């Protein structure tokens, strides 16, 4: 994400505050070795096991893991009739994932004859993340691989943070945690006691590969309006974001965040 989105070097609109220019097409590719062991399981069987994967960074897209064909269980994949064309990578062929009585159509793709600009894709294939039942980064089960160029920094702060819905103050803190995540605006995590409006838990949950599993609350304003899923928290954040445990953050189109008297 860091290299390919927002104002990063491989993004569609790279920053102007540099003393260099990157020559080449507007849509850029960068393949980087991913040395950790990665495994994918499907129907109780390991269908991918590699220590030779590469992360393909591609303009405006999240990184994608490609692995050598030899690191796939070939007997678990069946050729399909689907083919697609990418002007930057070439013509893709697809295979379905089939084990026992379970099948995921077109789960794997490869570029047998990639373009001249990406010859290093030959002999590699990529499996849709959602096609497998489970993925393992080394021996830890994960829901996504992390981008080595993406990080999350959490810092204690004494900045004055106010959150408004119109003219109504719904949260205020003089001791927020500032979360600086690559490619995103600063987020401010407050104590639950800093929220003055009523909150009601919802069934919504999301997963972040850098922070963990989040749960959400609806914010009810003084006039009775409800801002659904405007508040979230990570009860058991991942180790690199552990400081945000027990804290909440707010974001909604109808909310306005003011920091030290200035719009955030």
pLDDT 10s digits, 27-59: 899 999 999 999 999 999 999 999 999 999 998
Above 90 in pLDDT, residue 13?
no
- Placement of tokens 């830890």 in the chain: 140
Above 90 in pLDDT, residue 140?
yes
Above 80 in pLDDT, residue 117?
yes
171 conformational bin, left if phi > 0, alpha if psi -120 to 50, beta if neither = beta
Q: What is the pTM of this model?
A: 0.85
Q: Where in the chain is the domain with CATH 2.170.150.40?
A: 29-142, 152-263
C-beta separation of 217 from 190 below 8 A: no
Above 70 in pLDDT, residue 1?
no
Confidence at residue 172, expressed as pLDDT on a 0 to 100 scale: 98
Question: What would the pLDDT profile of 151-164 be if each residue is shown by its tens digit?
Answer: 999 999 999 999 99
Q: What burial letters (b/e) apply to 25-58, b meaning 16+ CB within 10 Å?
A: eebbbebeebeeebbbbbbeeebbebeebbbbbb
Looking at every residue in the chain, the average pLDDT score rounds to 95
- Placement of tokens 């390919």 in the chain: 4
Going by pLDDT thresholds of 50, 70 and 90, the confidence category of residue 3 is confident
Confidence at residue 22, expressed as pLDDT on a 0 to 100 scale: 80
C-beta separation of 69 from 53 below 8 A: no
Whole-number Å distance between alpha carbons of 2 and 148: 9
DSSP state at residue 76: G
Q: For domain 29-142, say whether CATH 3.40.50.300 is its number.
A: no
181 Cβ contact list (under 8 Å, min separation 6): 150, 151, 152, 153, 187, 210
Whole-number Å distance between alpha carbons of 128 and 45: 16
Which pair of tokens denotes residue 196?
A: 């003055």
185 Cβ contact list (under 8 Å, min separation 6): 264
Question: What would the pLDDT profile of 61-85 be if each residue is shown by its tens digit?
Answer: 889 999 999 999 999 999 999 999 9
CATH class of 152-263: mainly beta
């Amino acid at each position: 994400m860091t290299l390919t989105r927002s104002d990063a070097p491989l993004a569609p609109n790279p920053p102007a505050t540099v003393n260099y220019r990157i020559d080449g097409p507007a849509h850029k590719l960068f393949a980087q070795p991913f040395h950790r062991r990665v495994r994918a399981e499907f129907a109780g069987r390991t269908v991918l096991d590699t220590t030779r994967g590469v992360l393909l960074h591609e303009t405006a897209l999240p990184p994608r893991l490609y692995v050598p064909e030899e690191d796939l269980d070939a007997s678990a994949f069946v050729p399909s009739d689907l083919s697609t064309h990418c002007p930057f990578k070439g013509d893709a062929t697809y295979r379905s994932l089939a084990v026992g009585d379970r099948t995921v159509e077109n789960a794997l793709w490869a570029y047998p004859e990639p373009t001249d600009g990406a010859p290093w894709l030959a002999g590699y294939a990529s499996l849709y993340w959602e096609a497998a039942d489970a993925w393992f980064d080394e021996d830890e089960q994960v829901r996504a691989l992390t981008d080595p160029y993406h990080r999350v920094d959490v810092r204690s702060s004494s900045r004055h943070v106010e959150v408004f819905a119109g003219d109504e103050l719904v949260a205020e803190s003089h001791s927020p945690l500032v979360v600086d995540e690559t490619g995103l605006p600063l987020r401010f995590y407050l104590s639950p006691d800093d929220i003055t409006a009523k909150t009601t838990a919802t069934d919504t949950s999301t997963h972040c590969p850098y922070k963990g599993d989040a749960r959400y609350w609806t914010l009810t304003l003084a006039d009775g309006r409800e801002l659904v899923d405007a508040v979230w928290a990570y009860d058991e954040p991942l180790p690199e974001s552990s400081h945000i445990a027990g804290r909440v953050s707010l974001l909604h189109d109808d909310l306005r965040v003011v920091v030290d008297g200035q719009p955030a």
